[in-house]
Chains A and B, each alone.
Chain A
Amino acid sequence: MRAQTDDEYRIKAAFLFHFAQFIEWPSGVLNAKDSTLNLCISDDEPRLKEVQGTIEGKRIGMRVLHVRPINPSEELQGCNMIFFGSDQAPRQAAILRRLRGQPVLTVGESADFLSDGGMIRFHIEESKIRFDINLGASDSAHLKISSQLLLLASVVMRGNGSGAGR
Chain B
Amino acid sequence: MHIRNLSIRLKLALLILTSSGIAVFFASSGFTVYESQSYRASAVRELTALADTLGANTAASLAFNDQATAKAMLGALQTEPHLLAAYLYDFQGHVFAEYRSQGSPTNLILSVRRPDGASFDRDTLTLFRGVYLNGERTGTIALVYDLRDFRSLVLEYAKIAILVLFLSVVASFLFSLRLARFIGDPLVKLAAVARHISTEKDYSIRAQFGSGGETGLLVDSFNEMLTQIESRESALKDALRSLEESEERYALAARGANDGLWDWNLVSGEIYFSPRWNHMLGNAESEQWADPDEWFKRIHDDDRERVRAEIAAHCANKTPEFVSEYRMRHNSGGYVWMLSRGIAIRDESGKPIRMAGSQTDVTEGKIADPLTRIPNRLYFLDRLEAAIESSKCHGAHFAVLFIDLDHFKLVNDSLGHAAGDELLIDVAGRLRASIRSNARQSGPVQSVVARIGGDEFAILLGHIEHESDASTVASRVLERLNEPFHIEGRRMFVSASIGIALGSSGNTPEDLLRNADTAMYHAKSNGKARFEFFSDGLRAQAITRFETETGLRKAIDENQLVVYYQPIVSLANHCICGYEALVRWNHPERGLVAPGEFIPIAEESDLILLLGRWVLREACRQMAEWQLQNPAEPPLVISVNVSARQLSDPRLVEDVELALAESGLRHESLALEMTESSIMGDAEQTLDALNRLKRMNIRLEIDDFGTGYSSLSYLQRLPFDILKIDRSFVNELGVGDGSRSIVKAILELGHSFGMEVIAEGVETDLQLISLRQLGCIYIQGYLFSRPLDADAANRFYRKSRETGLTLRT
Q: Which residues of A contact B (CB under 8 A)?
A: 11, 14-15, 18, 21-22, 59-61, 128, 131, 146, 148-149, 151-152
Interface size on B, residues (CB 8 A): 13
When C-beta atoms are compared, the residue in chain A nearest to B136 turns out to be: A59
Complex Cα distance, B59 from A21, in Å, reads 11
List A contacts of B487 (CB < 8 A).
none
List B contacts of A152 (CB < 8 A).
60-61, 64, 66, 69
List B contacts of A61 (CB < 8 A).
134-135
- B65's partner among A22, A60, A128, A149 (CB-CB below 8 A) is A128
When C-beta atoms are compared, the residue in chain B nearest to A22 turns out to be: B60
**Residue B133 lies at the interface, judged by CB distance under 8 Å to chain A:** yes
Complex Cα distance, B61 from A15, in Å, reads 11
Complex Cα distance, B135 from A21, in Å, reads 11
Inter-subunit contact B134/A21 (CB<8 Å)? yes
**Residue B57 lies at the interface, judged by CB distance under 8 Å to chain A:** yes
List A contacts of B69 (CB < 8 A).
151-152
Complex Cα distance, B65 from A18, in Å, reads 11
Enumerate 9 A-B pairs (CB-CB under 8 Å) in ascending A order: A11-B65, A18-B60, A21-B63, A22-B60, A59-B136, A61-B134, A131-B64, A146-B60, A152-B61
List A contacts of B60 (CB < 8 A).
18, 22, 146, 148-149, 151-152
Complex Cα distance, B64 from A128, in Å, reads 10
Inter-subunit contact B66/A148 (CB<8 Å)? no
Complex Cα distance, B69 from A11, in Å, reads 18
List A contacts of B63 (CB < 8 A).
14, 18, 21
Known: A22-B60, A152-B60, A152-B61. 6 other contacts (CB 8 A): A18-B60, A21-B63, A21-B133, A21-B134, A128-B65, A152-B69
Q: Which of B51-75 contact A (CB under 8 A)?
A: 57, 59-61, 63-66, 69
Task: For residue B35, give the distance in angstroms from its CB to the closest CB of chain A.
Answer: 38
List B contacts of A15 (CB < 8 A).
64
Task: For residue B618, give the distance in angstroms from its CB to the closest CB of chain A.
Answer: 194
When C-beta atoms are compared, the residue in chain B nearest to A59 turns out to be: B136
Q: Which of B495-527 contact A (CB under 8 A)?
A: none
Residues 109-138 of chain B, each 1 if its beta carbon lies under 8 Å from chain A, else 0: 000000000000000000000000111100
List B contacts of A59 (CB < 8 A).
136
Complex Cα distance, B136 from A15, in Å, reads 15
Main secondary structure on A side of the interface with B: helix
Complex Cα distance, B60 from A22, in Å, reads 8
When C-beta atoms are compared, the residue in chain A nearest to B73 turns out to be: A151
List B contacts of A11 (CB < 8 A).
65
- A60's partner among B57, B59, B66, B134 (CB-CB below 8 A) is B134
Complex Cα distance, B137 from A59, in Å, reads 13
Rank and list the top 5 A-B pairs by shortest CB-CB distance, nearest first: A148-B60, A18-B63, A152-B64, A21-B134, A152-B66
List A contacts of B133 (CB < 8 A).
18, 21
List A contacts of B66 (CB < 8 A).
152
Which residue of B61, B65, B66 has the most chain A CB atoms within 10 A of its CB atom?
B65
Which residue of A15, A18, A59, A128 has the most chain B CB atoms within 10 A of its CB atom?
A18
When C-beta atoms are compared, the residue in chain B nearest to A17 turns out to be: B63
List A contacts of B64 (CB < 8 A).
15, 18, 131, 152
Inter-subunit contact B134/A148 (CB<8 Å)? no
List A contacts of B57 (CB < 8 A).
148
Task: For residue B320, give the distance in angstroms from its CB to the closest CB of chain A.
Answer: 134
When C-beta atoms are compared, the residue in chain B nearest to A14 turns out to be: B63
Complex Cα distance, B61 from A21, in Å, reads 13
Complex Cα distance, B58 from A148, in Å, reads 8
Complex Cα distance, B69 from A15, in Å, reads 16
List B contacts of A149 (CB < 8 A).
60
When C-beta atoms are compared, the residue in chain A nearest to B72 turns out to be: A151
When C-beta atoms are compared, the residue in chain A nearest to B62 turns out to be: A18
List A contacts of B134 (CB < 8 A).
21, 60-61
When C-beta atoms are compared, the residue in chain B nearest to A151 turns out to be: B69
Complex Cα distance, B61 from A22, in Å, reads 12
Task: For residue B634, give the distance in angstroms from its CB to the closest CB of chain A.
Answer: 205
Task: For residue A102, give the distance in angstroms from its CB to the closest CB of chain B.
Answer: 24
Complex Cα distance, B136 from A60, in Å, reads 9
Task: For residue B260, give the distance in angstroms from its CB to the closest CB of chain A.
Answer: 139
List B contacts of A14 (CB < 8 A).
63
Complex Cα distance, B135 from A114, in Å, reads 31
- Known contacts A18-B64, A128-B65; A148 and B135 CB within 8 A of each other: no
